[in-house]
Structure formats: structure tokens, C-alpha cells
Amino acid sequence: MSKNLPESLVFSIWQHQLKNRPDMTTEDGEPVRVIYPGRINHNRGADLLDAVITTGRDVKKGDIEIHVKSSSWQAHRHHQDPAYNGVILHVVMRRDTATATRMQNGQQTPILALERYLDGLPVRWPDPARPSDACRLPCHQVLRYLPVSTITGFLDHAGRKRFLSKAAGFRADLSGTEPGQVLYQGIMTALGYARNKLPFRELAARVPLRNLESLAGDKAGYEDSLARQQALLMGTAGLLPSQRPGHWRHEIAPADAWVEKLERLWASAHQTEVMDKDSWQLSPVRPNNSPLRRLAAMSHLVGRHRGKGILAAVIDKIAETTLSQGHRGLEELLLVATDDYWASHFAFGFRGRQLVPALLGRHRAADIALNVLLPFAFALRRRSRPGFSRKALDLYRQYPRLAVNNLEKHMSRQLGLTAALVSSAARQQGLIHVYRTLCSQGECHICPLGNR
């Protein structure tokens, strides 16, 4: 076979023709069997996420990276990138290095070379019409053999289990932490998206809510309180321009008054220990999802509710809202639009071509309402408000569909489901729960959709 194969063809050969073969072995001689093939990664990191394989007697869960040659691992500098430390199998067309691949953390992952299995096999180029999911999964195209009511009932049940699991996590936090801080930590973690969840949560611990609320509640005006909060958050995070010289994409203008103000406030503050600069993933991140903009949004949320506090605002909103319009009220509580520095900047010195006033838009607000506010409220169990927890659960059940993410697309293709079946946010959450607790754990044998 040609030595100039594109990686897309190697990917297709693996996905559609070879990954289900029972006789494959790694270059170290260990037998390999794919239990769950994972899902395509649309972001930075390995090609396939959350795969489950067996090598010899071991079950491994993690990612799969695919190359034409095994030496491409180093050529692409994956051996220096922590994003590839979760790789459990390096699939290549041919091996031209050692029998195992070394990762950034010093661990090794086995290599599987495909060329030995191609004799007599008609190689097919990628076909967008052919699904990349393993057609041999027991649940593939489940609508063909299960009633719709069985599938929707299963998704409703899974969605409830995911909600209760999140509530249990908040309840555990509430046992040793003030409710306002627990809520704040949950919102901050959600603002981090998948890439920066952990550093946002760490920052929430380093800069507690009470510190931000004290800055928002002093005698300074609203703009000054925002500046003080942002200086504390961004300075502790290590994200100010002075802390990352040369990092930000454009030169900071000499007359950039807002940047100068934040730097001055941070320099004069009683500083906390600054986070490690490697904690943050700043690229590739969509400009509007910049951690700087999300931290600015948090300062606005705290400032907006500086009268009674964000905790009381959330409790009152859930208690007072109707079930039919509850989702709108919760989202409006979280929406943040601004006309300040961040309306025209994605990062320090990075000015947008047009105004981008939404620091926290409706899609992200809906996600936080569903995954943080409601399970937190369920866990809180306010004795002074009878039926408060039940109200939170009912709001969750009636929450309309959210924007579709890549994980939901993957599961809908795998199961053959339509948007008409996944008709609520709770069912979307049910799909995520099935993926997290069954598919990516290799638990097909206990899944009701697989054991039809």
C-alpha cells in the first residue's frame, strides 16, 4: 500500500473495516478487542474519546489516536502534550518506531499496526453517508427492535438518575460548605466548559464568594466594584497581561484604561497565591468562550445581586416561578450583557470587529440552570419553603430541549434517535447519562437497550 496515505483513509479503515476483528494483536503481541469504539473528538486531543478495549487480561478505558506511521506521534509533538495522556491505543497503518508509544506523563501505550490485516481486504475511502459508530454494538439503531415507549421511558429514567446524581454531589458539598459558596462553585465550574472546569473550580476555592460579595457590597460604584472583582479573579488566575507577557494575541494599547485599572488594583491588593499558568487551556478556545469573558460574567452576576446575594436570588426565583415559564426566569437570572470593555474585547487587546455584548448568553445560561441551579436547589431542601425540592425536580422535568452538543449527536447516531424522541432537556441529559455510565464504561451487557 502507498506510503503516502492520508490519515483520513487510515481512520476510515480502522472505523469501518478492522476495529471489530477478533484476531488483532498489538506490536507487543497482546491481543486487542474493542468493546466500545468511542466517539469522534471535535476538539484538541486524541481522535477518538472514551473508548473501551481489552489487551490481554486488562480492560482499558480512554482515548485512541490514529496515524499513518507510529513516528507521527513525536512528529506531531503528542509526547509533549498532556492532552494525549489518556490514550490507551495508538492505531497506525505501519510501525516505524518502538513497539510502544511514550506519552507526556512518562507512561506507555501499545501500538496496533493495521497493514498486516489488509491482505485481500478491499480498502474503502471514507463515506459520509456511512455511520462511523460500530454497527455491531447491540444497541445500534435501537428503534428497529424496541417500541418507542420503551426507549423514551428509559431516557426519562436515565435523565432522572443524572439529575439525582448531580444533586447528591451538591448535597455532599453542602455538608461542609456554606450554601452560597457551593452554588458559586457550581456556576464557576460550569463557566469553565469541558476544557477549564477544574481550574475554574480551583479559582472558586481560592477566591470565595464572600470575598467577591464584599467587593461588590462596599461603597464603591458598580463599575469600580466590577474592576475590583475582575482584578482579584483574573490576577489570582494568573491571566492578567503582566502575568502572561507576550501571550495575548494583540499588543495592549498604551491608553487601555481598563487594563491599566485592573493591573493597578491587583498590584495594590492583598494578593492570594497565583494559580499555575499551565492550569489553563487558552487555545484552541472559541473567542467568546475565553476564560476572561467568563470571569467578567461572574463579576456581573455577583454585582447584579449585591443587595441580597446570588444565593437568595436563585432561591426566590425557583420558589416564585411557574412551571410553564420557569426556564425563562432562571435563564434571565443568569444572562449577562454588557456595554463595557468586554463588549468589544474577546481578551486583553483582542478587539472584535463588532460588539459582542453577551458575556453569558442564553445557551450557556440554560445549561447552568439545568445542571447547576436546579440540582443544587433540590439538594438544598429549604425547610422554610415546603415543596421547594419537588419544585426544582418538576422544573427540570419540564425544561425544554437545549442546544444539541457533539455527545448528543454521537448518541443519537448510535441509537438511531430523532429530535422528536429526545424532546426534552431531561431526555438529553438521559442520553449523556447512558453514555457516561454505560457506553464509555463498556457496560453493554447490563444496558437495557443492548439486552433487548
Q: Report pLDDT digits (tens) over 197-221.
A: 999 999 999 999 999 999 987 667 8
Q: What is the pLDDT of residue 237?
A: 96
**Is the CA virtual torsion 421, 423, 426, 432 positive or negative?**
positive
Mean pLDDT of 262-284: 86
Q: What would the pLDDT profile of 382-416 be if each residue is shown by its tens digit?
A: 656 778 999 999 999 999 999 999 999 999 999 99
Of residues 352 and 333, more confidence is placed in 333
Greater model confidence, 381 or 170: 170
Contact 155, 448 (CB under 8 A): no
pLDDT at 213: 93
**C-alpha 424: how far from chain center:** 20
Which of residues 287 and 337 earns the better pLDDT score? 337
Average pLDDT in the 232-247 region? 89
Per-residue model confidence (pLDDT) at position 95 = 95
Q: What is the mean pLDDT of the chain?
A: 89
Asked whether the predicted pLDDT for residue 370 surpasses 60, the reply is yes
- In angstroms, the CA 429 to CA 218 distance is 40
Judged against a pLDDT cut of 80, whether residue 249 lies above it is answered with: no
Say what angle helices 222-237 and 197-206 make with each other, to 10 degrees. 120
Rounded mean pLDDT of 410-429?
94
Q: What pLDDT is recorded for position 450? A: 76
pLDDT band at 375 (very low <50, low <70, confident <90, very high): very high
Burial 433-444 (b: 16+ CB within 10 A, else e): bbbebbbbbbeb
pLDDT, residue 218, reads: 66
Torsion from C-alpha of 193, 197, 201, 203, nearest 10 degrees: -90
pLDDT category of residue 1 using cuts at 50, 70 and 90: very low
Residue 303: how many other CB atoms lie within 10 Å: 21
User: What is the largest distance, in Å, between two alpha-carbon atoms of the chain?
Assistant: 79
* Nearest partner of 132 among 282, 284, 11, judged by Cα: 11
Report the share of the chain in percent with pLDDT over 70: 91
The residue that leads in pLDDT, 3 or 74, is 74
Q: Check residue 2 and give its pLDDT.
A: 46
Which residue(s) pair with 36 in the sheet?
52
Spatial separation of the C-alpha atoms in residues 200 and 205, rounded to whole Å = 9
Helix (H) or strand (E) holding 395: helix 388-397
The pLDDT of residue 349 is 80
Round to whole Å and give the CA distance between 244 and 86.
28
Q: What pLDDT, on a 0 to 100 scale, did the predictor assign at position 123?
A: 64
**For 56-93, how does the pLDDT look when each residue is reduced to its tens digit (9 = 90+)?**
889 999 999 999 999 999 999 999 998 899 999 999 99
pLDDT of residue 97: 93
pLDDT computed for residue 25 by the predictor: 95
- Would you place residue 133 in the very low, low, confident or very high pLDDT band (cuts 50, 70, 90)? very low
Q: What percent of the chain has pLDDT over 90?
A: 67
Q: How confident is the model at residue 126 (pLDDT cuts 50, 70, 90)?
A: low
Distance CA 154, CA 149 (A): 8
pLDDT at 127: 57
Residue 255 pLDDT more than 70? no
Residue 122 Cα to chain centre, angstroms: 38
How is residue 126 written as a grid cell? 471514507
Q: How confident is the model at residue 122 (pLDDT cuts 50, 70, 90)?
A: low
**Among candidate residues 425, 439, 428, the one with its CA nearest the CA of residue 406:** 428
Pairing verdict, β 345-347 and 87-94: unpaired
